[in-house]
Chains A and B, each alone.
Chain A
Amino acid sequence: MTTQVLSLTRWEWYKLRRRWMPWILLAIIAALPQLSLWGSVSGSFGSETEQAVRGADGTRLLFPNSVVGGLLVAQVYGIVLIMILAASLLGTDYGWGTLRTVLSRGTGRWPFLASKLLLLALLGAAGLFVGAAAWAVGGAIAMVTLGDGTWLAESADWIEVVKWSGKAAFGLFPYIALAACVAVLTSSSGAAIGIALSYYMVESILVGVLFNFDWFERVAEFLIGPAGYGWMGLPGGMTFSYPAELPDAAQSFVVLLGYVLVLGGAAFWLFQRRDIAGARGE
Protein backbone atom coordinates (compact mmCIF):
# COMPACT_ATOMS: atom_id res chain seq x y z
CA MET A 1 0.00 0.00 0.00
CA THR A 2 2.75 2.44 0.95
CA THR A 3 4.63 1.66 -2.24
CA GLN A 4 1.51 2.29 -4.29
CA VAL A 5 0.84 5.62 -2.56
CA LEU A 6 4.43 6.73 -3.14
CA SER A 7 4.25 5.68 -6.79
CA LEU A 8 0.97 7.53 -7.27
CA THR A 9 2.45 10.60 -5.58
CA ARG A 10 5.29 10.55 -8.07
CA TRP A 11 2.81 10.44 -10.96
CA GLU A 12 0.67 13.18 -9.41
CA TRP A 13 3.76 15.36 -9.46
CA TYR A 14 4.43 14.27 -13.06
CA LYS A 15 1.23 15.96 -14.19
CA LEU A 16 1.06 18.77 -11.63
CA ARG A 17 4.49 20.14 -12.49
CA ARG A 18 3.29 20.69 -16.04
CA ARG A 19 0.56 23.07 -14.88
CA TRP A 20 1.10 26.79 -14.44
CA MET A 21 -0.69 26.97 -11.11
CA PRO A 22 1.95 25.48 -8.76
CA TRP A 23 4.66 27.67 -10.24
CA ILE A 24 2.55 30.80 -9.96
CA LEU A 25 1.74 29.97 -6.34
CA LEU A 26 5.42 29.32 -5.70
CA ALA A 27 6.29 32.73 -7.16
CA ILE A 28 3.69 34.32 -4.90
CA ILE A 29 4.99 32.59 -1.78
CA ALA A 30 8.46 33.82 -2.65
CA ALA A 31 7.31 37.35 -3.41
CA LEU A 32 4.82 38.11 -0.63
CA PRO A 33 7.24 37.65 2.29
CA GLN A 34 9.60 39.94 0.41
CA LEU A 35 6.94 42.63 0.41
CA SER A 36 6.48 42.14 4.15
CA LEU A 37 10.20 42.22 4.74
CA TRP A 38 10.92 45.34 2.75
CA GLY A 39 7.75 46.97 4.03
CA SER A 40 8.84 46.45 7.60
CA VAL A 41 12.46 47.35 6.96
CA SER A 42 11.68 50.56 5.14
CA GLY A 43 8.49 51.47 7.00
CA SER A 44 7.66 52.16 10.59
CA PHE A 45 9.56 50.21 13.22
CA GLY A 46 8.46 49.12 16.61
CA SER A 47 5.19 47.40 16.09
CA GLU A 48 4.68 44.12 17.91
CA THR A 49 4.19 42.29 14.64
CA GLU A 50 7.44 43.43 13.21
CA GLN A 51 9.31 42.76 16.40
CA ALA A 52 7.92 39.28 16.46
CA VAL A 53 9.13 38.66 12.97
CA ARG A 54 12.53 40.24 12.91
CA GLY A 55 13.20 40.65 16.61
CA ALA A 56 13.51 43.83 18.54
CA ASP A 57 17.22 44.06 17.94
CA GLY A 58 17.04 43.14 14.28
CA THR A 59 19.26 40.08 14.73
CA ARG A 60 16.57 37.83 13.33
CA LEU A 61 17.49 39.13 9.91
CA LEU A 62 20.90 37.52 10.28
CA PHE A 63 21.30 34.22 8.44
CA PRO A 64 20.49 31.41 9.24
CA ASN A 65 18.33 32.55 12.14
CA SER A 66 16.40 34.77 9.76
CA VAL A 67 14.94 31.60 8.22
CA VAL A 68 12.68 31.24 11.27
CA GLY A 69 11.15 34.65 10.65
CA GLY A 70 10.73 33.71 7.01
CA LEU A 71 8.91 30.54 7.96
CA LEU A 72 6.48 32.45 10.16
CA VAL A 73 5.63 34.92 7.43
CA ALA A 74 5.53 32.31 4.66
CA GLN A 75 3.16 30.19 6.69
CA VAL A 76 0.66 33.04 7.02
CA TYR A 77 0.51 33.44 3.23
CA GLY A 78 1.01 29.73 2.63
CA ILE A 79 -2.28 28.86 4.32
CA VAL A 80 -4.27 30.64 1.63
CA LEU A 81 -2.10 29.37 -1.22
CA ILE A 82 -2.10 25.74 -0.11
CA MET A 83 -5.90 25.77 0.16
CA ILE A 84 -6.12 27.03 -3.42
CA LEU A 85 -3.71 24.35 -4.60
CA ALA A 86 -5.47 21.56 -2.66
CA ALA A 87 -8.89 22.53 -3.95
CA SER A 88 -7.56 22.70 -7.49
CA LEU A 89 -5.59 19.45 -7.35
CA LEU A 90 -8.66 17.53 -6.22
CA GLY A 91 -11.44 19.47 -7.87
CA THR A 92 -10.05 19.49 -11.39
CA ASP A 93 -10.08 15.70 -11.52
CA TYR A 94 -13.84 15.92 -11.02
CA GLY A 95 -14.26 18.81 -13.42
CA TRP A 96 -12.26 17.28 -16.25
CA GLY A 97 -13.78 13.84 -15.69
CA THR A 98 -10.30 12.35 -15.32
CA LEU A 99 -11.24 10.76 -12.02
CA ARG A 100 -13.26 8.19 -13.98
CA THR A 101 -10.35 7.53 -16.28
CA VAL A 102 -7.94 6.95 -13.39
CA LEU A 103 -10.20 4.85 -11.20
CA SER A 104 -11.59 2.64 -13.97
CA ARG A 105 -8.22 0.87 -14.34
CA GLY A 106 -8.04 -0.48 -10.80
CA THR A 107 -6.38 2.42 -9.01
CA GLY A 108 -7.74 2.31 -5.48
CA ARG A 109 -9.62 5.34 -4.28
CA TRP A 110 -7.91 5.37 -0.91
CA PRO A 111 -4.34 5.31 -2.29
CA PHE A 112 -5.26 7.87 -4.96
CA LEU A 113 -6.55 10.41 -2.44
CA ALA A 114 -3.70 9.63 -0.04
CA SER A 115 -1.16 10.34 -2.81
CA LYS A 116 -2.72 13.73 -3.50
CA LEU A 117 -2.68 14.68 0.18
CA LEU A 118 0.90 13.51 0.53
CA LEU A 119 1.92 15.59 -2.47
CA LEU A 120 0.14 18.62 -1.02
CA ALA A 121 1.94 18.18 2.29
CA LEU A 122 5.28 17.97 0.50
CA LEU A 123 4.50 20.96 -1.69
CA GLY A 124 3.35 22.91 1.36
CA ALA A 125 6.67 22.23 3.04
CA ALA A 126 8.54 23.10 -0.16
CA GLY A 127 6.58 26.35 -0.45
CA LEU A 128 7.48 27.29 3.11
CA PHE A 129 11.12 26.54 2.36
CA VAL A 130 11.07 28.76 -0.73
CA GLY A 131 9.29 31.56 1.14
CA ALA A 132 11.69 31.33 4.07
CA ALA A 133 14.72 31.15 1.81
CA ALA A 134 13.55 34.22 -0.09
CA TRP A 135 13.01 36.02 3.20
CA ALA A 136 16.47 35.04 4.41
CA VAL A 137 18.08 36.27 1.22
CA GLY A 138 16.09 39.50 1.45
CA GLY A 139 17.07 39.85 5.11
CA ALA A 140 20.74 39.43 4.28
CA ILE A 141 20.50 42.03 1.53
CA ALA A 142 18.71 44.41 3.88
CA MET A 143 21.36 43.98 6.56
CA VAL A 144 24.15 44.55 4.04
CA THR A 145 22.59 47.53 2.33
CA LEU A 146 20.68 49.21 5.16
CA GLY A 147 22.33 47.82 8.29
CA ASP A 148 25.90 47.52 9.44
CA GLY A 149 26.87 45.11 6.68
CA THR A 150 26.73 42.02 8.87
CA TRP A 151 24.41 39.41 7.46
CA LEU A 152 25.70 36.23 9.11
CA ALA A 153 24.67 35.40 12.70
CA GLU A 154 27.47 34.83 15.18
CA SER A 155 25.84 31.68 16.45
CA ALA A 156 23.68 29.73 14.03
CA ASP A 157 20.66 28.09 15.65
CA TRP A 158 19.87 25.35 13.18
CA ILE A 159 17.82 23.40 15.72
CA GLU A 160 15.41 26.32 15.92
CA VAL A 161 15.21 26.39 12.13
CA VAL A 162 14.35 22.67 11.98
CA LYS A 163 11.85 22.98 14.84
CA TRP A 164 10.03 25.88 13.25
CA SER A 165 10.05 24.22 9.84
CA GLY A 166 8.17 21.27 11.32
CA LYS A 167 5.77 23.50 13.22
CA ALA A 168 5.03 25.68 10.20
CA ALA A 169 4.47 22.67 7.94
CA PHE A 170 2.14 20.99 10.42
CA GLY A 171 0.20 24.23 10.72
CA LEU A 172 -0.75 23.90 7.05
CA PHE A 173 -2.22 20.39 7.40
CA PRO A 174 -5.65 21.36 8.80
CA TYR A 175 -6.12 23.75 5.90
CA ILE A 176 -5.11 21.08 3.38
CA ALA A 177 -7.63 18.73 5.01
CA LEU A 178 -10.31 21.44 4.95
CA ALA A 179 -9.84 22.23 1.25
CA ALA A 180 -9.63 18.53 0.37
CA CYS A 181 -12.81 17.72 2.26
CA VAL A 182 -14.72 20.56 0.59
CA ALA A 183 -13.36 19.63 -2.85
CA VAL A 184 -14.54 16.03 -2.46
CA LEU A 185 -17.86 17.21 -1.02
CA THR A 186 -18.58 19.67 -3.82
CA SER A 187 -16.73 17.78 -6.60
CA SER A 188 -15.58 21.17 -7.83
CA SER A 189 -12.33 23.11 -7.59
CA GLY A 190 -14.05 26.48 -7.93
CA ALA A 191 -16.55 25.76 -5.17
CA ALA A 192 -13.85 24.30 -2.95
CA ILE A 193 -11.59 27.34 -3.33
CA GLY A 194 -14.51 29.67 -2.65
CA ILE A 195 -15.74 27.82 0.42
CA ALA A 196 -12.31 27.21 1.93
CA LEU A 197 -11.21 30.83 1.54
CA SER A 198 -14.58 32.08 2.78
CA TYR A 199 -14.21 29.95 5.88
CA TYR A 200 -10.73 31.34 6.46
CA MET A 201 -11.94 34.92 6.26
CA VAL A 202 -15.18 34.45 8.15
CA GLU A 203 -13.36 32.57 10.90
CA SER A 204 -10.87 35.37 11.41
CA ILE A 205 -13.74 37.85 11.78
CA LEU A 206 -15.68 35.48 14.03
CA VAL A 207 -12.69 34.92 16.27
CA GLY A 208 -12.31 38.66 16.78
CA VAL A 209 -15.92 38.81 17.91
CA LEU A 210 -15.79 35.70 20.11
CA PHE A 211 -12.68 36.84 21.94
CA ASN A 212 -14.68 39.77 23.25
CA PHE A 213 -16.80 37.45 25.38
CA ASP A 214 -15.34 35.45 28.25
CA TRP A 215 -17.15 32.18 27.63
CA PHE A 216 -16.95 32.31 23.85
CA GLU A 217 -13.28 33.03 24.09
CA ARG A 218 -12.85 29.38 25.06
CA VAL A 219 -14.90 28.34 22.03
CA ALA A 220 -12.71 30.40 19.73
CA GLU A 221 -9.64 28.57 20.97
CA PHE A 222 -10.97 25.43 19.30
CA LEU A 223 -11.20 26.99 15.85
CA ILE A 224 -8.44 26.37 13.34
CA GLY A 225 -7.08 29.91 13.19
CA PRO A 226 -6.50 30.56 16.92
CA ALA A 227 -5.20 27.02 17.35
CA GLY A 228 -2.81 27.63 14.48
CA TYR A 229 -1.46 30.81 16.04
CA GLY A 230 -1.29 29.07 19.42
CA TRP A 231 0.67 26.22 17.84
CA MET A 232 3.08 28.61 16.17
CA GLY A 233 3.36 30.62 19.40
CA LEU A 234 2.74 33.84 17.61
CA PRO A 235 1.82 36.72 19.89
CA GLY A 236 -1.36 38.64 19.37
CA GLY A 237 -1.39 41.35 16.80
CA MET A 238 -0.31 39.13 13.92
CA THR A 239 -3.75 39.82 12.49
CA PHE A 240 -6.12 42.54 13.53
CA SER A 241 -8.70 40.33 15.21
CA TYR A 242 -6.56 38.20 17.54
CA PRO A 243 -5.97 39.08 21.16
CA ALA A 244 -2.60 39.01 22.85
CA GLU A 245 -3.12 35.70 24.65
CA LEU A 246 -3.58 32.58 22.61
CA PRO A 247 -3.99 28.91 23.62
CA ASP A 248 -0.86 27.04 24.57
CA ALA A 249 1.00 24.97 22.01
CA ALA A 250 0.02 21.55 23.38
CA GLN A 251 -3.70 22.27 23.35
CA SER A 252 -3.39 23.85 19.93
CA PHE A 253 -1.57 20.81 18.58
CA VAL A 254 -4.40 18.55 19.74
CA VAL A 255 -7.00 20.85 18.20
CA LEU A 256 -5.17 21.02 14.87
CA LEU A 257 -4.62 17.26 14.85
CA GLY A 258 -8.33 16.80 15.51
CA TYR A 259 -9.18 18.93 12.47
CA VAL A 260 -6.72 16.99 10.32
CA LEU A 261 -8.22 13.67 11.39
CA VAL A 262 -11.87 14.70 11.18
CA LEU A 263 -11.70 16.67 7.92
CA GLY A 264 -9.25 14.23 6.34
CA GLY A 265 -11.34 11.27 7.49
CA ALA A 266 -14.48 12.86 6.08
CA ALA A 267 -12.70 13.43 2.75
CA PHE A 268 -11.63 9.77 2.59
CA TRP A 269 -15.08 8.53 3.62
CA LEU A 270 -16.85 10.63 1.01
CA PHE A 271 -14.32 9.81 -1.69
CA GLN A 272 -14.62 6.10 -0.99
CA ARG A 273 -18.42 5.98 -0.98
CA ARG A 274 -19.68 8.32 -3.67
CA ASP A 275 -20.38 7.56 -7.30
CA ILE A 276 -17.97 9.11 -9.75
CA ALA A 277 -19.76 11.15 -12.38
CA GLY A 278 -18.46 12.24 -15.76
CA ALA A 279 -16.83 15.54 -16.69
CA ARG A 280 -18.47 18.74 -15.50
CA GLY A 281 -16.62 20.95 -17.90
CA GLU A 282 -14.70 22.87 -15.28
Chain B
Amino acid sequence: MTDVVIQTNALTKRYGRVLAVDRLSLEVPRGHVFGLLGPNGAGKTTVMGMLLGLVRPTSGSFSLLGTDGTGRDALRRIGAIVETPAFYPYLSGRRNLAYFQGVMGRNDPRELDRLLDLVGLAGRANDAFKTYSLGMKQRLGLAYALLGDPELLLLDEPTNGMDPAGMAEVRDLIRDLGSEGRTILLSSHLLNEVEQVCDSVAIIAKGRLVVQGDVADLLRPQEQVRLRTTDDAKALTILTAADEIEAARAEDDALVVTIAHERSSELTALLSKSEVYVTEIAPLQVSLEQYFLDVTGENGERSE
Protein backbone atom coordinates (compact mmCIF):
# COMPACT_ATOMS: atom_id res chain seq x y z
CA MET B 1 0.00 0.00 0.00
CA THR B 2 1.29 3.43 -0.85
CA ASP B 3 0.12 6.62 0.80
CA VAL B 4 0.37 8.64 -2.38
CA VAL B 5 -1.75 7.35 -5.27
CA ILE B 6 -0.93 10.06 -7.81
CA GLN B 7 2.45 11.71 -7.95
CA THR B 8 3.57 13.98 -10.76
CA ASN B 9 7.13 15.17 -11.11
CA ALA B 10 7.69 18.32 -13.17
CA LEU B 11 5.01 17.16 -15.58
CA THR B 12 5.03 19.35 -18.67
CA LYS B 13 2.98 19.47 -21.84
CA ARG B 14 3.66 21.82 -24.69
CA TYR B 15 1.47 22.18 -27.80
CA GLY B 16 3.69 24.00 -30.24
CA ARG B 17 4.33 27.35 -28.65
CA VAL B 18 1.61 26.95 -26.06
CA LEU B 19 2.75 25.66 -22.69
CA ALA B 20 -0.38 23.91 -21.41
CA VAL B 21 1.18 22.38 -18.28
CA ASP B 22 4.38 23.71 -16.81
CA ARG B 23 6.50 21.52 -14.50
CA LEU B 24 3.55 20.44 -12.40
CA SER B 25 4.43 18.47 -9.29
CA LEU B 26 1.45 17.14 -7.36
CA GLU B 27 0.85 14.55 -4.70
CA VAL B 28 -2.60 13.10 -4.16
CA PRO B 29 -2.85 11.15 -0.90
CA ARG B 30 -4.75 7.87 -0.70
CA GLY B 31 -8.34 8.19 0.45
CA HIS B 32 -8.58 11.91 -0.24
CA VAL B 33 -11.06 13.73 -2.40
CA PHE B 34 -8.55 15.98 -4.07
CA GLY B 35 -9.59 19.06 -6.01
CA LEU B 36 -7.74 20.34 -9.05
CA LEU B 37 -8.98 23.88 -9.14
CA GLY B 38 -8.27 26.40 -11.83
CA PRO B 39 -9.91 28.74 -14.31
CA ASN B 40 -10.83 27.55 -17.80
CA GLY B 41 -7.68 26.92 -19.81
CA ALA B 42 -5.53 26.38 -16.73
CA GLY B 43 -4.45 22.94 -17.93
CA LYS B 44 -6.68 20.73 -15.77
CA THR B 45 -7.97 18.56 -18.61
CA THR B 46 -4.48 18.22 -20.06
CA VAL B 47 -3.24 16.97 -16.69
CA MET B 48 -6.11 14.44 -16.60
CA GLY B 49 -5.30 13.41 -20.17
CA MET B 50 -1.67 12.78 -19.33
CA LEU B 51 -2.55 10.73 -16.25
CA LEU B 52 -4.91 8.62 -18.36
CA GLY B 53 -2.39 7.99 -21.11
CA LEU B 54 -4.35 9.98 -23.68
CA VAL B 55 -1.86 12.82 -23.91
CA ARG B 56 1.88 12.23 -24.11
CA PRO B 57 3.83 14.46 -21.70
CA THR B 58 6.50 16.63 -23.24
CA SER B 59 8.68 16.04 -20.18
CA GLY B 60 8.39 14.99 -16.58
CA SER B 61 6.97 11.80 -15.14
CA PHE B 62 4.17 10.53 -12.96
CA SER B 63 3.14 7.47 -11.05
CA LEU B 64 -0.37 6.07 -10.54
CA LEU B 65 -1.31 3.71 -7.72
CA GLY B 66 2.35 3.02 -7.13
CA THR B 67 3.08 2.04 -10.73
CA ASP B 68 4.97 3.81 -13.46
CA GLY B 69 2.52 6.09 -15.26
CA THR B 70 3.56 4.82 -18.70
CA GLY B 71 2.05 1.39 -18.05
CA ARG B 72 -1.61 0.58 -18.60
CA ASP B 73 -2.10 -1.78 -15.67
CA ALA B 74 -2.98 1.03 -13.27
CA LEU B 75 -5.61 2.38 -15.68
CA ARG B 76 -7.66 -0.78 -15.18
CA ARG B 77 -8.01 0.24 -11.53
CA ILE B 78 -9.04 3.79 -12.38
CA GLY B 79 -12.42 5.18 -13.35
CA ALA B 80 -12.47 8.43 -15.27
CA ILE B 81 -14.48 10.96 -17.15
CA VAL B 82 -12.66 13.60 -19.16
CA GLU B 83 -14.54 16.67 -20.35
CA THR B 84 -18.08 16.00 -21.55
CA PRO B 85 -18.55 12.22 -21.47
CA ALA B 86 -18.48 10.76 -24.97
CA PHE B 87 -20.48 7.66 -25.81
CA TYR B 88 -21.86 6.05 -28.95
CA PRO B 89 -24.87 8.18 -29.89
CA TYR B 90 -26.91 5.40 -31.49
CA LEU B 91 -26.55 3.01 -28.54
CA SER B 92 -28.70 3.23 -25.44
CA GLY B 93 -27.16 4.18 -22.10
CA ARG B 94 -27.30 0.54 -20.99
CA ARG B 95 -25.72 -0.76 -24.19
CA ASN B 96 -23.00 1.85 -23.99
CA LEU B 97 -22.16 0.70 -20.46
CA ALA B 98 -22.36 -2.95 -21.55
CA TYR B 99 -19.91 -2.24 -24.37
CA PHE B 100 -17.39 -0.52 -22.12
CA GLN B 101 -17.79 -3.22 -19.50
CA GLY B 102 -17.12 -5.80 -22.21
CA VAL B 103 -14.08 -3.92 -23.48
CA MET B 104 -12.77 -4.07 -19.91
CA GLY B 105 -13.15 -7.84 -20.10
CA ARG B 106 -16.22 -8.18 -17.93
CA ASN B 107 -19.88 -9.02 -18.39
CA ASP B 108 -22.09 -8.31 -15.39
CA PRO B 109 -25.63 -7.07 -16.16
CA ARG B 110 -26.38 -6.66 -12.43
CA GLU B 111 -23.59 -4.11 -12.13
CA LEU B 112 -25.16 -2.15 -14.98
CA ASP B 113 -28.54 -2.13 -13.20
CA ARG B 114 -26.93 -1.02 -9.94
CA LEU B 115 -24.92 1.81 -11.53
CA LEU B 116 -27.77 3.08 -13.68
CA ASP B 117 -29.93 3.16 -10.58
CA LEU B 118 -27.18 4.87 -8.57
CA VAL B 119 -26.87 7.75 -11.03
CA GLY B 120 -30.63 8.05 -11.53
CA LEU B 121 -30.77 6.84 -15.12
CA ALA B 122 -32.65 3.58 -14.65
CA GLY B 123 -35.79 5.04 -16.25
CA ARG B 124 -33.95 6.19 -19.40
CA ALA B 125 -31.41 3.37 -19.63
CA ASN B 126 -32.84 1.98 -22.86
CA ASP B 127 -33.05 5.31 -24.66
CA ALA B 128 -30.40 6.24 -27.20
CA PHE B 129 -27.52 8.29 -25.81
CA LYS B 130 -28.12 10.97 -28.45
CA THR B 131 -31.47 11.78 -26.82
CA TYR B 132 -29.89 12.50 -23.42
CA SER B 133 -29.56 15.99 -21.96
CA LEU B 134 -26.10 17.17 -20.94
CA GLY B 135 -26.89 16.40 -17.32
CA MET B 136 -27.93 12.84 -18.22
CA LYS B 137 -24.74 12.42 -20.21
CA GLN B 138 -22.77 13.45 -17.15
CA ARG B 139 -24.66 10.90 -15.06
CA LEU B 140 -23.93 8.16 -17.57
CA GLY B 141 -20.30 9.29 -17.47
CA LEU B 142 -20.28 8.79 -13.72
CA ALA B 143 -21.80 5.33 -14.10
CA TYR B 144 -19.10 4.52 -16.66
CA ALA B 145 -16.39 5.79 -14.33
CA LEU B 146 -17.70 3.51 -11.58
CA LEU B 147 -17.63 0.37 -13.74
CA GLY B 148 -15.47 -2.24 -12.09
CA ASP B 149 -15.51 -0.49 -8.70
CA PRO B 150 -12.23 1.40 -9.29
CA GLU B 151 -10.06 2.46 -6.37
CA LEU B 152 -9.19 5.80 -7.97
CA LEU B 153 -11.57 8.16 -9.75
CA LEU B 154 -10.48 10.96 -12.06
CA LEU B 155 -13.44 13.26 -12.64
CA ASP B 156 -13.08 16.22 -14.96
CA GLU B 157 -15.80 18.81 -14.36
CA PRO B 158 -18.40 16.14 -13.48
CA THR B 159 -21.23 18.60 -12.82
CA ASN B 160 -20.74 20.55 -16.02
CA GLY B 161 -24.10 21.29 -17.62
CA MET B 162 -26.19 20.04 -14.72
CA ASP B 163 -29.03 21.92 -13.08
CA PRO B 164 -28.56 22.90 -9.40
CA ALA B 165 -30.46 19.87 -8.10
CA GLY B 166 -28.42 17.53 -10.28
CA MET B 167 -25.18 19.20 -9.17
CA ALA B 168 -26.12 18.73 -5.53
CA GLU B 169 -26.92 15.05 -6.14
CA VAL B 170 -23.66 14.41 -7.91
CA ARG B 171 -21.68 16.21 -5.21
CA ASP B 172 -23.40 14.08 -2.58
CA LEU B 173 -22.52 11.00 -4.61
CA ILE B 174 -18.87 12.05 -4.90
CA ARG B 175 -18.73 12.70 -1.16
CA ASP B 176 -20.21 9.24 -0.51
CA LEU B 177 -17.70 7.63 -2.84
CA GLY B 178 -14.91 9.46 -1.08
CA SER B 179 -16.16 8.44 2.34
CA GLU B 180 -15.84 4.79 1.28
CA GLY B 181 -12.08 5.26 1.19
CA ARG B 182 -11.83 5.77 -2.55
CA THR B 183 -9.37 8.35 -3.81
CA ILE B 184 -10.91 10.95 -6.10
CA LEU B 185 -9.20 13.58 -8.21
CA LEU B 186 -11.84 16.13 -9.10
CA SER B 187 -11.05 18.92 -11.51
CA SER B 188 -13.29 21.94 -11.40
CA HIS B 189 -13.38 25.66 -11.92
CA LEU B 190 -16.17 25.96 -9.34
CA LEU B 191 -14.84 27.08 -5.96
CA ASN B 192 -17.90 26.10 -4.02
CA GLU B 193 -17.87 22.65 -5.57
CA VAL B 194 -14.30 22.04 -4.45
CA GLU B 195 -15.02 23.52 -1.04
CA GLN B 196 -18.08 21.31 -0.56
CA VAL B 197 -16.59 18.06 -1.80
CA CYS B 198 -12.81 18.04 -1.43
CA ASP B 199 -10.42 17.46 1.47
CA SER B 200 -7.35 18.80 -0.33
CA VAL B 201 -6.89 21.06 -3.28
CA ALA B 202 -4.27 22.20 -5.75
CA ILE B 203 -4.88 25.47 -7.51
CA ILE B 204 -3.37 25.72 -10.96
CA ALA B 205 -3.24 28.64 -13.35
CA LYS B 206 -1.65 28.85 -16.78
CA GLY B 207 -0.41 25.30 -16.35
CA ARG B 208 1.45 26.02 -13.14
CA LEU B 209 0.80 24.91 -9.60
CA VAL B 210 -0.03 28.02 -7.61
CA VAL B 211 -0.73 26.52 -4.22
CA GLN B 212 -1.58 23.10 -2.75
CA GLY B 213 -2.94 22.12 0.64
CA ASP B 214 -6.00 21.33 2.74
CA VAL B 215 -9.20 22.96 1.61
CA ALA B 216 -9.90 24.20 5.13
CA ASP B 217 -6.62 26.10 5.17
CA LEU B 218 -6.51 27.36 1.61
CA LEU B 219 -10.07 28.22 0.84
CA ARG B 220 -11.29 29.49 4.19
CA PRO B 221 -12.41 33.10 3.93
CA GLN B 222 -9.47 35.23 4.90
CA GLU B 223 -10.06 37.91 7.48
CA GLN B 224 -8.69 41.32 6.77
CA VAL B 225 -8.99 44.81 8.19
CA ARG B 226 -8.90 48.10 6.38
CA LEU B 227 -7.32 50.98 8.26
CA ARG B 228 -6.10 54.53 7.94
CA THR B 229 -3.30 55.92 10.10
CA THR B 230 -1.49 59.13 10.80
CA ASP B 231 1.37 57.89 8.56
CA ASP B 232 0.32 55.13 6.13
CA ALA B 233 3.75 54.75 4.52
CA LYS B 234 5.48 54.18 7.84
CA ALA B 235 2.68 51.91 9.00
CA LEU B 236 3.02 49.75 5.88
CA THR B 237 6.76 49.36 6.53
CA ILE B 238 6.13 48.33 10.14
CA LEU B 239 3.33 45.89 9.28
CA THR B 240 5.18 44.26 6.38
CA ALA B 241 8.16 43.59 8.68
CA ALA B 242 6.08 42.25 11.57
CA ASP B 243 6.04 38.43 11.93
CA GLU B 244 2.57 38.33 13.39
CA ILE B 245 1.03 39.99 10.32
CA GLU B 246 0.30 37.63 7.41
CA ALA B 247 0.18 40.32 4.74
CA ALA B 248 -0.31 44.02 4.31
CA ARG B 249 -0.73 46.21 1.28
CA ALA B 250 -1.67 49.76 0.35
CA GLU B 251 -4.98 49.99 -1.45
CA ASP B 252 -6.53 53.28 -2.52
CA ASP B 253 -6.07 55.70 0.40
CA ALA B 254 -5.85 53.01 3.07
CA LEU B 255 -4.01 49.89 4.17
CA VAL B 256 -5.42 46.38 3.96
CA VAL B 257 -3.99 43.97 6.52
CA THR B 258 -4.63 40.22 6.72
CA ILE B 259 -5.30 39.48 10.38
CA ALA B 260 -8.08 37.88 12.41
CA HIS B 261 -10.62 40.49 13.43
CA GLU B 262 -10.27 39.67 17.12
CA ARG B 263 -6.58 40.55 16.92
CA SER B 264 -7.16 44.11 15.69
CA SER B 265 -6.10 45.52 19.07
CA GLU B 266 -2.64 43.93 18.57
CA LEU B 267 -2.38 45.81 15.32
CA THR B 268 -3.12 49.18 16.86
CA ALA B 269 -0.75 48.47 19.76
CA LEU B 270 2.05 47.53 17.34
CA LEU B 271 1.68 50.75 15.40
CA SER B 272 1.33 52.98 18.41
CA LYS B 273 4.69 51.72 19.72
CA SER B 274 6.20 53.43 16.67
CA GLU B 275 4.08 56.52 17.16
CA VAL B 276 1.79 55.72 14.26
CA TYR B 277 -1.82 56.03 15.31
CA VAL B 278 -4.87 54.40 13.78
CA THR B 279 -7.48 56.94 12.78
CA GLU B 280 -9.95 54.54 11.19
CA ILE B 281 -10.32 50.73 11.19
CA ALA B 282 -12.97 48.42 9.73
CA PRO B 283 -13.21 44.65 9.19
CA LEU B 284 -13.10 43.22 5.64
CA GLN B 285 -14.24 39.76 4.53
CA VAL B 286 -12.41 38.38 1.50
CA SER B 287 -14.67 36.16 -0.58
CA LEU B 288 -13.53 32.81 -1.91
CA GLU B 289 -13.86 34.21 -5.37
CA GLN B 290 -11.58 37.11 -4.51
CA TYR B 291 -9.01 34.75 -3.03
CA PHE B 292 -9.15 32.49 -6.08
CA LEU B 293 -8.79 35.42 -8.43
CA ASP B 294 -5.88 36.71 -6.38
CA VAL B 295 -3.91 33.47 -6.31
CA THR B 296 -4.56 32.53 -9.93
CA GLY B 297 -3.51 35.97 -11.09
CA GLU B 298 -6.85 36.48 -12.80
CA ASN B 299 -7.27 39.68 -10.83
CA GLY B 300 -3.84 41.21 -11.24
CA GLU B 301 -0.71 40.11 -9.40
CA ARG B 302 -0.75 38.26 -6.12
CA SER B 303 -0.77 40.59 -3.18
CA GLU B 304 0.98 38.30 -0.77
Contact = CB atoms under 8 A, between A and B. Distances in A.
Interface stretch (A5-13, A48-56, A208-216): A5-13
Interface stretch (B100-108, B180-188, B196-204): B100-108
Interface in A13-27: 14-15, 18-19
A105 B102 contact: no
A205 interface: no
B90 A19 contact: yes
B104 to A, nearest CB: 6
Contacts of B52: 100, 103-104
B132 to A, nearest CB: 14
A163 B154 CA distance: 52
Interface stretch (B72-80, B115-123, B213-221): B72-80
Nearest to B104: A105
Interface residues of A, number: 26
Interface residues of B, number: 35
B104 A100 contact: no
B84 interface: yes
A236 B83 CA distance: 54
A18 B72 contact: no
A100 B75 CA distance: 13
A10 B86 contact: no
A107 B53 CA distance: 10
Nearest to B56: A275
B257 to A, nearest CB: 45
A98 interface: yes
Q: Chain B's interface: helix, strand, loop or mixed, by majority?
A: loop
B168 interface: no
Nearest to A279: B86
B56 A107 contact: no
A94 B99 CA distance: 17
A149 B82 CA distance: 65
Given A101-B86, A102-B100, A108 B72 contact: yes
Contact of B99 (A11, A273, A278): A11
A26 B56 CA distance: 39
Contact of B88 (A7, A15, A100, A106): A15
A261 interface: no
A63 B34 CA distance: 70
A96 interface: yes
Interface string A86-128: 0000000000111011111111100000000000000000000
Contacts of B84: 97, 278-279
Contacts of A270: none
Interface of B: 49, 52-56, 72-76, 78-80, 82-91, 95, 98-100, 102-105, 144, 147-148
Given A18-B90, A106-B72, A278-B83, 9 more contacts: A8-B103, A11-B99, A14-B99, A97-B84, A97-B86, A102-B103, A104-B52, A105-B104, A105-B148
